[in-house]
Amino acid sequence: MANEQIIEKIYELIAPLNRKGIELKPDVTFASDLELDSLTVMDLVADIEDEFDIVLPLNLLPELETIEQVADAVEKIINKG
Amino acid sequence: MDLLDKFDSTVALRDSLPFEKADPFKVVMEEIISETEAVIDGRHTILAGTNNYMGMTFNEEAVAAAKEALDNFGTGTTGSRVLNGTYGGHKALEATIAEFYGMEHCMVFSTGYQANLGMISALGGKDDFVIIDADSHASIYDGCSMGNATIVRFRHNDVENMERRLKRLPEDAGKLLVVEGIYSMLGDAAPLKELLEVAKKYGCMTLVDEAHSMGFCGENGRGIAEQLGVEHLVDFYVGTFSKSVGTVGGFAVSSHPKFDVLRLVSRPYIFTASLPPSVVASATKSIEAIKRSGNRRAHLWENARRLHAGLKKAGFHLATPDAQSPIIAVHLPDPMLGTRFWEQLLLEGVYANMAAPPATPSGVFLMRVSVCAQHTTEQIDEIITRFNRTAEKVGLALNP
Ligand SMILES: Cc1ncc(COP(=O)(O)O)c(C=O)c1O
């Protein structure tokens, strides 16, 4: 379970993109729930990278479907770095 | 479970486009009259979307060399470069390209797509990082998927965005920066000087794909790196014969002393048949001709600037503020208007490329024109006239 602060930060970054006003929860998915297209996801990934000062490799992205999965990945990368 | 069901949404999207009289995915060139004209569906058509930048497809020496090679060496090699597929012609072509680039080594691949696959997948190992521009060509993305490196992507042509990412990578790790000289959809040039200087500061090796800049950028036509005077910062070039060179095939060049080992480890080089001797012979002659083609280069740039200026004056929304390459792209507001524009333009007798996502960046819809050194000034003016007529017929608002 990812750290609360990381999840909260990610909620903040998603908020402006949440055009359908979905309630943000850890198991919300980017593609089916938030309906973000691949270009928006790309910008979001860049924002997340800059926020946490990390690199989220492109290779990881296909496996990150929910907010929680992204938060877990971010946490892992921060702890490793 | 029908494995093709997963493409239903793609089919639905395509079916929703209002093609009536022509279909961009089913164009057949019935007759090729010259580098710049063809017959499509019985209509005499100006070709303005073929990437035949230097107009080399009917170069006399290249055609003659291909015929001679056919007679002397047959229709194909039936083998891999590392088995029976390397003829004298392949070695001579590699020497010609190495000399053209002023570098020590060259490897010829069967396509440019495979050259990118082969270079990126071999260079980027398990503990390495490959850093790419977000708008990279599919062959660069696929080269990344094929290899085992960690892939880092930065915003298109954004030096600062790239540097922020390079800063986060381990100092002593292997790093390969991959960028293009000219990006093929919008026709915009990369700020190569800044990109390469920053990449070198962070210890990257660099690979520049000059697919859409070879032939006419730089004094000798080597590409954007030559034009900007930063060739000393390039470790590897990748290029193709399918555009300015006028045939098919790809290559990589480098002065790295260990370069040749790639022939033993690069799978897209090894596990496919080599180019037929006729293609190799015409590519060699064409590249030699390109080197001497100062006047053609000058005329190509005149054509590009004339077309850009003419469309801009007419009020089209162009993808670049000036002509940065022979690719002149016009923004269209939506798929419906884009489709009708493309169709009407074809009926007017101009073949251009309809470019839509995901091939285009930022989800834009484009009418993409690529001009040729063999287009006459009259043909360029005719393209502009027909663009105007098409805009009027399909109701595209212009802002002159
Ligand atoms: C940037 C870039 N690299 C590589 C290629 C592949 O070239 P080829 O047609 O030789 O496979 C292309 C062309 O499609 C391209 O645009």
Rounded CA-CA distance B344/B22 in Å is: 9
Give pLDDT tens digits for B98-117. Answer: 999 999 999 999 999 999 99
pLDDT at B77 over 90: yes
**Inter-chain contact B161–A42, Cβ cutoff 8 Å?**
no
Decide the pairing of beta strands B175-180 and B129-133.
parallel
Q: What's the total number of domains in chain A? A: 1
* Contact between A57 and A64 (Cβ < 8 Å): no
pLDDT at A81: 67
Is A59 an interface residue toward B (CB < 8 Å)? yes
What is the number of the ligand 1 atom nearest to the C-alpha of B140?
3
Q: Which of B113, B157, B208 to mutate to test the pocket of ligand 1 (most atoms within 8 A of CB)?
A: B113
Q: Select B17-54+294-394's CATH number: 3.40.50.150, 3.90.1150.10, 3.40.50.1970, 2.40.50.140.
A: 3.90.1150.10
Q: Please, which pLDDT band fits residue B34 given cuts at 50, 70 and 90?
A: very high
Q: Is residue B334 packed enough to be buried (19+ CB in 10 Å), middle (13-18) or exposed (0-12)?
A: exposed
Largest CA distance in chain A: 35
Percent with pLDDT over 90 in chain B: 92
* Residue A9, domain extent: 4-80
Q: Would you say the ipTM is above 0.85?
A: yes
Rounded CA-CA distance B148/B287 in Å is: 34
Give pLDDT tens digits for B114-133. Answer: 999 999 999 999 999 999 99
Rounded to a whole number of angstroms, the distance from the CA of B167 to the nearest CA of chain A is 9
CATH value at residue A58? 1.10.1200.10
To test the contact with chain A by mutation, choose from B129, B153, B162 the residue with the greatest count of A C-beta atoms within 10 A, namely B153
Give pLDDT tens digits for A25-56. Answer: 999 999 889 888 878 888 899 999 999 999 99
Which tops the pLDDT comparison, A33 or B243?
Answer: B243
Kindly report the length of chain B. Answer: 400
DSSP string, B155-179: -TT-HHHHHHHHHTS-TTS-EEEEE
- CATH number for region B60-291: 3.40.640.10
Show the ligand 1 pocket: residues with CB < 6 angstroms: B 111-113, 116, 137, 139, 180, 184, 209, 211-212, 240, 242, 250
Which residues have CB under 8 Å from B184's CB, separation 6+?
A: B137, B211, B212, B327
Rounded CA-CA distance A5/A71 in Å is: 9
- Supply B392's token pair: 């009027």
The segment(s) of chain B belonging to CATH 3.40.640.10 are 60-291
Give pLDDT tens digits for B356-390. Answer: 877 777 778 999 999 999 999 999 999 999 999 99
For residue B161, list chain A residues with Cβ-Cβ distance below 8 A: 46
* Rounded distance from Cα B212 to ligand 1 centre (Å): 8
To test the contact with chain B by mutation, choose from A53, A58, A78 the residue with the greatest count of B C-beta atoms within 10 A, namely A58
pLDDT at B117: 98
